[in-house]
Amino acid sequence: MTSVRSSDKTKPYIPLAGTGPRDGFSNEDEATATCFCGAVQLKFPTSKPGLLGSFICNCTDCRKITASMFASNFTIDNRYLVHVRGQDKMKQFSQIETTTTGNRMTNHFCGECGTLLYRIGTGFPGASILRLGTVDDYNLVETKLKPDLEQFIEDRVAWLPGATGIKQVERFAYHDAAMKGKKAALAAGKL
């Protein structure tokens, strides 16, 4: 029986996961991310310029939002993000009170099953932060979408060692960029 670990990393591996249609895909240039029930599906690029980066976050916001000890994320330039289906089924929740930078973060999740698909922050205009766990091809998480950074390591639980072979950063790795975005959002009256 094939598992994520034993699968051939040169081919897509899309296991039975979730209850929706089995129409996720990946190819050399793009792939899909789907919510648990299948009502919402996104298409995204798997390389630059549309793929901006991939990271692990241990901040207290990400821990609470994911109901886990960390979040694994990848960032896409919004010009390359496509809603294949279900954009009308998505709900939003926005807040500013608990973010480290004071930027507004808006969560976009499936209104049917509750899967968080991405976040948008005023500190990152034009970009969406997607969840690696929603990617249909599990091999992409170990290849093209493998995180290269782990941030807020001071908030990582003591019983979980850091990810190996990637940059470890205390606090927010993109703090300067986020603060520039916050200033722009304030000037535009979006905060």
- Give the residues of the chain that fall short of pLDDT 70: 1, 4, 13, 15-20, 97-99, 172-191
Q: What tokens were used for 6?
A: 């034993």
Sequence-separated (6 or more) residues with CB below 8 Å from residue 104: 94, 95, 96, 121, 122, 185, 190, 191
